Chain A
Amino acid sequence: MAMTMSGEQQLAAPREKVWAMLNDPAVLKSCIPGCETLDVIGENEFMAVATNRIGPVKARFKGKVRLTDLDPPNGYKISGEGDGGVAGFAKGGASVNLTDKDGGTLLSYNVEAQIGGKLAQLGQRLVNGAAKKLADDFFVRFAAAVKG
């Protein structure tokens, strides 16, 4: 039972620049909430470690982050699967779309997230809020990075 949500951010930069930054591992690392490492392990594939808290459960997630459905410079899908050890797992992804707007770029996203194990047991009713906050954090940071 996945939870879904969407949002958008107006960015003061041209679409090509936004696209380039969306594909820059250093930018992604600085934007993924709680991200400790993000190592390139293949084409459009990274190994990430991030520590996050969902409700009462704090977990260090380890897992792959993948970029798929690449459509430069219009958008892609960023998805990840995190193994939180004893806390369970979290999976999720966001479809990101870029369009020209008001001399800048409108970034819109649709997020889907799923959790399991102790995270789901204790944090199910908190997951929507937590996932929304994580997604918002990501894109707010990304907007800041774009602003530079």
Chain B
Amino acid sequence: MTATGIGAAVRRKEDFRFITGKGQYTDDVTRPGETRAMFVRSPHAHAKIKSIDTAAASGMPGVLEVLTGAELASDKIGNLICGWMINSKDGTPMKMAAHPALAVGKACHVGDAVAVVVAETLAQAKDAAEKVKVDYEVLPAVIDPAKAQSAAAIHELAPNNTIYQWHLGDAKAADAAIKSAKHVTRLDIVNNRLVPNAMEPRVAIGDYDTGTQNFTLWNTTQNPHVARLVIAAFVGMAPEHKLRVIAPDVGGGFGSKIFIYPEEVVCLWASKRVGRPVKWTCDRSEAFVTDAHGRDHVTHAEMAFGDDGKITAIKVKTVANLGAYMSTFSSSVPTYLYATLLSGQYDIPAIYCEVDAVYTNTVPVDAYRGAGRPEATFVVERLVEVGARELGIDPADLRRRNFIKSFPHQTPVIMAYDAGDYNASLKKASEIADVKGFGKRKRDSARVGKLRGLGYSNYIEACGIAPSQAVGSLGAGVGLWESAEVRVNPTGSVEVLTGCHQHGQGHETTFAQVVADRLGIPIDNISIVHGDTDKVQFGMGTYGSRSGAVGISAIVKALDKVEAKAKKVAAFMLEAAEGDIEFKDGKFTVAGTDKAAAWGEVTLNAYIAHKFTGAQLEPGLKEGAFYDPTNFTFPAGCHICEVEIDPETGHTDIVGWTAVDDFGTVINPMIVEGQVHGGVAQGVGQAMLENAVYNSDGQLVSGSFMDYTMPRADDLPSLKVDMTVTKCPGNPLGIKGCGEAGAIAAPAAVINAITDAIGTEDLAMPATSQAVWAAIRRVAKMQQAAE
């Protein structure tokens, strides 16, 4: 390890510009002649649009265009799509309803865009938007996913609001195991609906060049190339080569900026119509009712136990709320990103999962940090914990008895785990958390009238998304490889072009560390270029903890080629056979001699081409690679949460948090620790604070930070973060991925700890003080009744 190489806690190169206010976010981009867009949105959850009168708005000062779904249709702008085909168990394909960028005929959720005003200034656009008259006929709204299948259909093509009825696993085997079980643990679980709330709201600038007929979209996206592909091939805005997508600095995504949204389509389209750039900047209120939400599962789950606490089966039935329309990857989240992880870290012979996905008159639901895997972990880790309590077995011991111990391990639900040591992370976490001393701490709490509880979460996730052939066979419309291009300049400095996109992950640092380590050059001589489809040829973007495992692997592959070419150049310079050239620490040497050439000399020679002819070797030093993973990666670990609760108020303090994760090879431990911190904070947010609440009319009543509680620093203790390492055998550096782990692990750890403290499993997320207080009262009442 060098001071800046793999494994070094290098300070983030990108932070200087962020903390000095020099970041360039989409809203910082101003195009000459820019106009502003303001959307008119439905205040009703479900309403027929009888008419839209735009005349008054069109006559307002500064207004250039007022557009509705009618113009969208007449200009033949295509619908937004969901790119992952899921078939129902009867073989029928999922029921994907039309999702136009502006509502046509009816509005299907509060916030659904029904018109857009383009004006010279934002104030003028806002004033004119007030004048757009929409005559609605309010229709009954379907809100509760558990009741959606018995309500009138929102979209004609989906009777009973059912998008698909999917399943995975062996129902007969699971049923048989449950029937013959020594004990069965049953839980009803609601995985609460969340609003992603990235710090930077979404922004789009559409810029149509009337001279070249080229479109440019500046956009807050996690995957500019996928945005371009969808907008070109499906929405039909422009051919791919006539559309450039630029995603500059992006302030957080958490999944919500993966998807292709109506506003970016409308800005492009409107720009062509008005012949000037059109900018839309989302405000926070708008974000609450337009950014795809996360989670929202209603689940019944059963876990069967045989002798000695051996898990024999798990059976799960989930209703997943996908909202009013199918967002870009929404279909995959409650299916292949969820049910495939129901084996957890355990050797479970029989697994069966049924998932019904439903439409409701709510904002579309799609991937949010963890995407399916937090929901799976919550199911498995709650069942294991409750099962242990019911069986009177120590929860850690029950887990140990069921851990998968030999690898590779084929689960009954598709995944083949390649490497791991679950016992090692449990052991290390238990030591750091001082589980042995918990009894004493609990007694100490009791002395001051407090309750204390301890909860484990032994999560596993499938990351490094994903082998293209595998996801293709499961319905994905795209491959999930990644690309890299390493451009070496004559002076030896390097630009790396990557299809990954950073929006908080620190790629400019970690990716550069890998290159510095490999080429033996200073990290400051390396630039990471991303987020522009005119610079990077293609890429699949950043999500699913894939940038390390897939993106860096592509860079490593390109570096292999660069090194091979540079060795050829060195061979000509040093007048040696290519096979005798060795490269180490930035220096080329001829084996067994003292002949050497420095990296910078070789790179210069590659370009001046004085030492070889064009017939012998092409000048230049630039190589690209596409890396397609051979398997998912399987980060796993053990998080232990300790809580102290005031039974008089229900106020719950997290007094201890230990995270021991196995992410395989770690490039930058400081950045990885930061990712764990952020993930845990979001997971604690879900478990204790955050909840997207709709009333029965479909109004989002927790639609601002007054009512939607985000985690704050004082909600969390100082986290103890540590690692165990088993390298991933599937990629060159042995990386597994770390971005989502905290959010996946945390909710189960929190709820397991609180339920341990209060003595009832009847506690839904978010476990607010009020909810905990009410649960404590229910327990007291039951105890009184029993006496």
Chain A positions near chain B (C-beta within 8 angstroms): 1, 85-86, 88-89, 114-122, 124-125
Contacts and interface: CB of A to CB of B under 8 A. Distances in A.
Contact of A86 (B44, B126, B288, B695): B126
B725 interface: no
Interface stretch (B85-93, B180-188, B702-710, B735-743): B702-710
5 contacts: A116-B699, A120-B43, A120-B695, A121-B704, A125-B701
Given A86-B126, A122-B285, A116 B703 contact: no
A2 B583 CA distance: 74
Interface string B276-314: 000000000100110000000000000000000000000
B707 A125 contact: yes
B700 interface: yes
B110 A116 contact: yes
A68 B589 CA distance: 97
B40 interface: yes
B89 to A, nearest CB: 36
Given A116-B699, A117-B41, A121-B699, 20 more contacts: A85-B129, A86-B41, A86-B130, A88-B43, A89-B43, A114-B697, A117-B42, A117-B699, A119-B43, A120-B110, A120-B695, A120-B701, A121-B289, A121-B700, A121-B701, A121-B703, A122-B285, A122-B706, A124-B699, A125-B706
B696 interface: yes
Nearest to B134: A83
A125 B706 CA distance: 9
A113 to B, nearest CB: 12
Contact of A115 (B42, B288, B699, B706): B699
Interface string B122-151: 000010011100000000000000000000
Interface in B420-474: none
Nearest to A62: B133
Contacts of B41: 86, 117
B285 A121 contact: yes
A116 B704 CA distance: 14
Nearest to B132: A85
Interface string B693-726: 0011101110110110000000000000000000
Contacts of B43: 88-89, 116-120
Contact of A124 (B288, B289, B696, B701): B701
Interface in B519-573: none
Contacts of A116: 43-44, 110, 697, 699
Contacts of B707: 124-125
Contacts of A86: 40-41, 126, 129-130
Given A85-B129, A88-B43, A120 B699 contact: yes
Contacts of B130: 85-86
A89 B43 CA distance: 7
Contacts of A1: 695-697, 699
Given A1-B696, A122-B285, A117 B110 contact: yes
Interface string B637-664: 0000000000000000000000000000
Interface of B: 40-44, 110, 126, 129-131, 285, 288-289, 695-697, 699-701, 703-704, 706-707
B770 to A, nearest CB: 14
Nearest to B40: A86
A120 B703 contact: yes
Nearest to B286: A118
A120 B697 CA distance: 10
Contacts of B701: 120-121, 124-125
B757 to A, nearest CB: 30
A99 to B, nearest CB: 34
Nearest to B131: A85
A133 to B, nearest CB: 19
Contacts of A115: 699
B110 to A, nearest CB: 6
A85 B40 CA distance: 9
A75 B204 CA distance: 55
Of A86, A118, A121, A122, most buried by chain B (CB within 10 Å of CB) is A121
A147 B209 CA distance: 69
Contacts of B695: 1, 120, 124
A86 B115 CA distance: 11
Nearest to A83: B133
A128 to B, nearest CB: 12
Contacts of B700: 120-121
A83 B289 CA distance: 19
Of A89, A117, A122, A125, most buried by chain B (CB within 10 Å of CB) is A117
Nearest 7 Cβ contacts at the A-B interface: A117-B43, A121-B703, A120-B699, A88-B43, A1-B695, A124-B701, A85-B130
Given A86-B40, A88-B43, A118 B126 contact: no
Contacts of B699: 1, 115-117, 120-121, 124
A130 to B, nearest CB: 14
B66 to A, nearest CB: 14
Contacts of A119: 43
Nearest to B699: A120
A75 B130 CA distance: 36
A92 B131 CA distance: 23
A125 B700 CA distance: 12
Contacts of A118: 43, 285
Nearest to A117: B43
Contacts of A85: 129-131
A114 B699 CA distance: 10
Contacts of A89: 43-44
B139 to A, nearest CB: 13
A89 B696 CA distance: 16
A93 to B, nearest CB: 16
B57 to A, nearest CB: 10
Contacts of B704: 121-122
Contacts of A121: 110, 285, 288-289, 699-701, 703-704
A86 B704 CA distance: 16
Nearest to B42: A117
A63 B390 CA distance: 60
A117 B130 CA distance: 13
A122 B43 CA distance: 12
A85 B126 CA distance: 11
Nearest to B47: A116
A122 B44 CA distance: 15
A90 to B, nearest CB: 10
A115 B699 CA distance: 9
Nearest to B701: A124
Contacts of B285: 118, 121-122
A115 B698 CA distance: 11
A88 B138 CA distance: 13
A75 to B, nearest CB: 27
Contacts of B129: 85-86
A90 B703 CA distance: 17
Contacts of A125: 701, 706-707
Nearest to A114: B697
B533 to A, nearest CB: 34
A114 B701 CA distance: 12
Of B44, B288, B704, most buried by chain A (CB within 10 Å of CB) is B704
A3 to B, nearest CB: 10
A1 B45 CA distance: 12
A118 B42 CA distance: 10
A59 to B, nearest CB: 9
Contact of A122 (B40, B131, B703): B703
A6 to B, nearest CB: 21
A117 B289 CA distance: 9
Nearest to B703: A121
Contacts of B42: 117
